[in-house]
Amino acid sequence: MIHDGNGKFLMAQRHAKDENQPGRWAIPAGHLEIDGSLNEPKPDALEENLRREALEEVGVEIEIERYLDSHYWAGADYRKLTVVFLCQIKSGEPKALDETQAVAWLTLDEIKGLDLAPQVLRLVEKAQRVLAE
């Protein structure tokens, strides 16, 4: 979850053609494939994937600050573990790229009025509490 240090969070609206939550607003994110092999993953695989996804989805390089949350979710044909980190932009200006149709810096109150993907509101509320500590 990318924040600006002043109470705003970077949100991305998924394309209407997206197969997962089309048109809904979410935090820029990706997933790490686990191939089932016996090969041991690299120790920094999550962080490396997060940096790559931020660049691919919204065109920014990020600085990962700390772990925020994780949750499990499943559908008929998938199971996912989502791991969320608090991040800030190191370089670049956020923009909508291939996977998103819009990006915006928004406050919690503004986010509450959006059509959100599952878990997003809970995560933003938690991030705001953690950042206020």
**Does some domain include residue 2?**
no
Do residues 27 and 1 touch, judged by C-beta distance below 8 A?
yes
What domain count does the chain have?
1
**Does some domain include residue 22?**
yes
**Does some domain include residue 100?**
yes
Contacts of 77 (CB under 8 A, 6+ apart): none
**Does some domain include residue 76?**
yes
Closest to 48 measured CA to CA, from 30, 34, 36: 30
Q: What is the CATH number of the domain that holds 43?
A: 3.90.79.10
Strand partners, 82: 71
Query: pLDDT tens per residue, the chain (133 residues)?
Result: 999 999 999 999 998 887 778 899 999 887 666 655 556 666 678 888 899 999 999 999 999 999 999 988 787 887 788 899 999 999 999 999 988 899 999 999 999 999 998 899 999 999 999 999 8
**Does some domain include residue 123?**
yes
Reported as half-sphere exposure (CB side, CA atoms, 13 A), residue 71 has a value of: 10
Which H, E and C letters describe the chain, residue by residue?
A: CEECCCCCEEEEEECCCCCCCCCCEECCCCCCCCCCCCCCCCCCHHHHHHHHHHHHHHCCEEEEEEEEEEEEEEECCEEEEEEEEEEEEEECCCCCCCCEEEEEEECHHHHHCCCECCCHHHHHHHHHHHHHC
Do residues 131 and 107 touch, judged by C-beta distance below 8 A?
no
What pLDDT was estimated at residue 67?
94
Which H, E and C letters describe 75-95, residue by residue?
A: ECCEEEEEEEEEEEEEECCCC
**Does some domain include residue 1?**
no
Structural domain of residue 106, as residue ranges? 9-132
**Does some domain include residue 83?**
yes
**Does some domain include residue 121?**
yes
